[in-house]
Amino acid sequence: MERKVYRSRISVLMMGFILLCFLPALIPMISSGNVLNPVFYILVGSLAFVMLIALGMRCEITDKHLIISTWGTCKVNCPLSQIVSVERSYNMLSSGAFSLKRLSIRSKKGSKYPWMLISPVREQEFLDTLKKYNPDIYVRVENKTEWWRIWDWDL
């Protein structure tokens, strides 16, 4: 059984936004030398937890299933035969994607997971592998090239 693993793309902008949320609370504590405060440890622990979650998102394709997992805690197992289409999405809903440049995967009606949002790093290879195991999947993924999409920063 062949198994291909794709880690999730991590958006520089999303990481920057998360850091901007934590820094206003952390900077005064660091500058005043108040790092023994329990709130400091809670904030640093929360930031580390978010980073670990971002680094632990994975998509696996076996010969029969698409498996989406986060450090082994959240696991979605979708049969490849149930997948109907894959399209580009910039939907901001919570998902197994730490990027706003996502793929929306739609399944047949009545399946356990009717749609999923993921953002694999090697996107074209991921799509080719999906098509290899299920050639009936409709794929419509366009890469926009406007001037503000610098270095593929997931805008």
Every domain of the chain and the residues it spans: 1-155
Strand-pair category, 138-140 with 83-89: parallel
- The pLDDT score that the predictor gives to residue 148 is 58
Q: What is the CATH number of domain 1-155?
A: 2.30.29.30
- The pLDDT score that the predictor gives to residue 146 is 66
Show the low-confidence residues of the chain (pLDDT under 50): 155
- The pLDDT score that the predictor gives to residue 144 is 67
- The pLDDT score that the predictor gives to residue 72 is 63
- The pLDDT score that the predictor gives to residue 155 is 44
β-strand partners of 8: 120
List own/partner pairs for 112-117 with CB under 8 A and 24 or more apart. 112/78, 113/76, 113/78, 116/68, 116/76, 116/78, 117/89, 117/91, 117/93
- Taking only the tens place, the pLDDT of each residue in 109-142 is 888 888 888 889 888 899 999 999 999 999 988 7
- The pLDDT score that the predictor gives to residue 17 is 84
- The pLDDT score that the predictor gives to residue 138 is 92
β-strand partners of 10: 98
Residues 13/57, Cβ–Cβ less than 8 Å: no
Residue carrying structure tokens 């680094």: 55
Taking the CA of residue 100 as centre, how many other CA atoms within 13 Å lie in the half-sphere pointing to its CB?
A: 13
